[in-house]
Amino acid sequence: MLSLVNWRREIFEIYSDIRRESNGKTAWEKWRVKREELFKHHPESPTFNIKSIPGSYAQPILYPYNPNFCLSSQYKVLESSEILELITDDNSITRIQPFLKTTNLFEKLNIELTIFKILGYGGGLFLPFFDKGCFSNGENYEGGRYLIDTIKGADLGECKENELRLDFNFSYNPSCSYNSKWTCPIIKHYNIIPVLIDAGEKKPIEVL
């Protein structure tokens, strides 16, 4: 448990550094380097393998930084919407609800994105998505990727008031893409982006 607490503390600190950095590529370089170190050395790494030599766990595979997907968007609040129930790692149920809708991404992505509100203790925001690379044996994980998950510390913040920072270079795979011991929420029928997002993490080469 203390090891898990330490992992989460490290992730929160990484994203805190990102929010303080105004240059997107510089922030991404910090994110990339620090996460690679965590994945390589930390016992809570999604790529941890008891048979591996400590310090040699597999690291994320990333696209080069792509400024075309360093985006931000204003948003509107969704007044009423369905509540979705997700099964998580310990077989408990997490309830989420569509909460925000972007308002100026259609020209770039051919879609507006839904950001979910996590209901219950802790709360928070959650933004999962699929893109063209998740299908037809593309380079991205078929279960989709995450961009925001404030419970886990993944929070890019706002560029200015009422404008979310949505830089897809920071998109990452759910833990289940690396290790079958994890159960990750996969939300179908939302945020299916019909273009290739060649930014952020690619799918792992090998799944444990």
pLDDT in tens, 68-91: 999 999 999 998 778 988 877 666
Global pTM reads 0.91
Domain-located, residue 8: no
Q: How are beta strands 145-149 and 114-118 bridged, if at all?
A: unpaired
pLDDT tens by residue, 122-181: 789 999 999 999 998 889 999 999 999 998 899 999 988 889 999 999 999 988 888 777
Residue 31 lies in a domain: no
- Tell me if 23 sits within 8 A of 30, measured CB to CB: no
For the cut 90, the answer to whether the pLDDT of residue 103 exceeds it is: yes
Residue 58 confidence (pLDDT): 80
CB-based burial label for 199 (10 Å; 0-12, 13-18, 19+): buried
Range of 140's domain?
A: 61-177
CA–CA separation, 94 vs 77, rounded Å? 21
What is the structure's pLDDT at 2? 86
**Nearest in space to 131 (alpha carbons), one of 109, 102, 116, 149:** 109
Check: CB of residue 70 under 8 Å from CB of residue 24: yes
Neighbour count for residue 75 (Cβ, 10 Å)? 20
**Is residue 162 situated within a structural domain?**
yes
Q: Is 171 or 95 the better-scoring residue by pLDDT?
A: 171
Is residue 173 domain-resident?
A: yes
Helix 24-41 to helix 2-20 angle (10° resolution) is 170
Q: Is 52 domain-assigned?
A: no
Structural domain tally of the chain?
1
CA–CA separation, 148 and 22 (whole Å):
18
What is the Rg, in whole angstroms, of the alpha carbon atoms belonging to the chain? Answer: 16
Overall average pLDDT of the 184-205 stretch: 90
In a domain, 121, yes or no: yes
